[in-house]
Structure 1
Amino acid sequence: MRNEQAPQPSSLQIEIANQIMDMIRGGGVGPGEHLTEAVLAKRYGVSRSPVRAALKMLQDRGYLEARANAGVFVSKRVPRMRLDALENPNPTADDLYHSIITDRAGGKLQKALSETELMARYGAPKSVLMHALLRLTREGLIRRRRGHGWQFLPALDSEEALYEAYRFRMVIECAALREPTFKIVPEELASARRRYEDFLARSPRAQTSSAFFEMNSAFHEMLMRFSGNRFIVQAMQQQNQLRRFEEFSSYSGPNRNVIESCKRLLQIIAAIEAGDNVFAEALMLRHLKIACALSIGRRQAPSAVARDAG
Structure 2
Amino acid sequence: MILVTGATGAVGREVAAQLAAAGPVRILARRPERLGAFGNRAEVVAGAYADRQALDRALRGVTSVFLVTNSPTEPDDERVAAAAAEAGVRHLVKLSMMAVEEPDASDLITRLQRENERTIRESGVPWTFVRPRTFMSNTLSWAAGIRSDGVVRALHGDAPVACVDPRDVAAVAVAALTGTGHEGRAYAVSGPEAITAREQTAQLSRALGRPLRFEELGVAAARTALLAKYPRPVAEAFLESAERQRAGAKAGVVSTVRQLTGRSARPYSVWSADHADAFTGRDDR
Name the TM-score class by shorter chain.
0.3 to 0.5
Normalised to the residue count of structure 1, the TM-score between the two structures is 0.30
More helix by share: 1
| Structure with the greater alpha carbon radius of gyration | 1
Normalised to the residue count of structure 2, the TM-score between the two structures is 0.32
More strand by share: 2
